[in-house]
Structure 1
Amino acid sequence: MSLSVLSPSAPIVLIGAGKMGGALLTGWLAGGLDPKAVVVVDPNPPAETLDLLAKHGIAHAASAPGGVTARVLLLAVKPQMMGAALPAVRDLIGPGTVTVSIAAGTTIATLETALGGAIVRTMPNTPAQVGRGMTGAFANPAVTEADRALVGALLAAVGEVGWVENEGLIDTVTAVSGSGPAYVFLLVETLAAAGVAAGFTPELAARFARQTIVGAGELLNQSPLPADTLRKNVTSPAGTTAAALDVLMAADGLEPLMVRAVAAAKRRAEELAG
């Protein structure tokens, strides 16, 4: 769906313009959203967001403006601020509003109690800041097909979107893709440390490790082949890569470690959601 369905009379109201809110706004504007069709509410936007607002002539307010009914109300505030934010935005909701939350741990039930109506709960990740995000989304029964298409277009402005049909799977989304970038960054750190142990200087090890992960990620992005095929393409029988993979793919290697890590993250997400 085109973002042109949003207009000054049926705008998207963005509550919170920090890193993730700002990334979304950047993607929407790059995707053709009319700057007059967005209302930004944030008492203290970061400098980069202020520059973006100034560039496009978008005003921002410290609190929810009166006389505005949102077509999309997007909540991009920190989870610990949600309790104060929800009552303050209730008047922005009309019969045709769909509310979208990107706050970790805030359940559909909490949002329904506070706001009612059509609600989509999402979990994006930080690569959205460079247009390479992965966002999981779950819709309550009040969300229409038109709502889903519009929300999907808004989220797709910063990467890919995957809809789940069970809200509990949002905790899995959190554990896999929400926290996942940290796992990749740790891989860079550990690969660099291994390079130092094998003789590199720390600076050279960091350079080799970083670019290896960046390059492999871009190859994965551009190739139609699945990851296991790309792995096999690198691996010559009885070669150096095979020797390393014998360690990483052992019974106590990377896969069981990652399974435990994702399970721990999911348990914590469930605890935070109450």
Structure 2
Amino acid sequence: RAALAGDGAPLRPGGADGPDPAGPTPEAVRAAAREALAGLVAERVFGGDPSRWLAEVGDRAGLAAWGRRGATPAARLIGWLLATGQGGLGRCTVAPLTPGVLAARLAQAGDGGAAAPTWAGRPYETSPLTRNLAEPLIADLVAVFGNGLVSRLAAQLVEVARLVAPVLGDDGAGEVAEEATPELARDPGAGLGLVEAARGLLAHRVVLAGEQVVDYAILSPTDWNFHPLGVVAQGLAALCEEAGAIAEPLARLFVIAVDPCVAFDLARRAHPGAPPFTVPLSEEP
């Protein structure tokens, strides 16, 4: 923030003064900020060059070896999950959302912005995990742990490594395959915008009558992932049944791994033989 906006407030509506006009150009400032951030991520997350990390952790054995070295908090967390047999916690059978399913769901006029979306009666998931299922490391993890905790966290690490590696000089590591955007409708007054946001596939759909907007729908990753019968609900049910006494911190970790985008409360309903627990409201979104 300091690199991009100087003493200003870059997130305040109306803008800020930004860097000194007499100083480096905005492009140079942004480049310096990218390099500083990439270097910080390389050091604090991967413990070294992210492109080398991608080459060394091509399967679960490589990931486990990285975790055992434990040079960073991310490595220690992955290492602990694998060493204690917790890697599959939260696994369930919710299917990954595809652009085609999303377009079909949004084409339901007047109903595209439902808070609990389904398609053909099923909830779906859209996340860093679902868009990295073809990665060799993630495919290997999913074969053993399904869509459980370690697969989710590893998918986020793969994405971060591919994003920062080009900034540090490895152009090939940042290549990401993209799916074609499906046609929403032949009506020239309807439009669909899809973007792979940090948490999953985000969609905006607009319908015009002349120059007037007559329908506007948004489906965010949270709408799908936090559906009452979605991947978080099913994952937490499975996790709490399997994790027993240590369910509370792992449940919180699972929610954060999926990422609700906002602060959250997490509580378990009391039932015979299992005391309730409550996770406090997180201080930051």
TMscore range, shorter length: under 0.3
Structure scoring higher RCO (CA < 8 A, sep ≥ 6) equals 2
Superposition TM-score, scaled by structure 2 size: 0.21
Superposition TM-score, scaled by structure 1 size: 0.21
Q: Which has the higher helix share?
A: 1
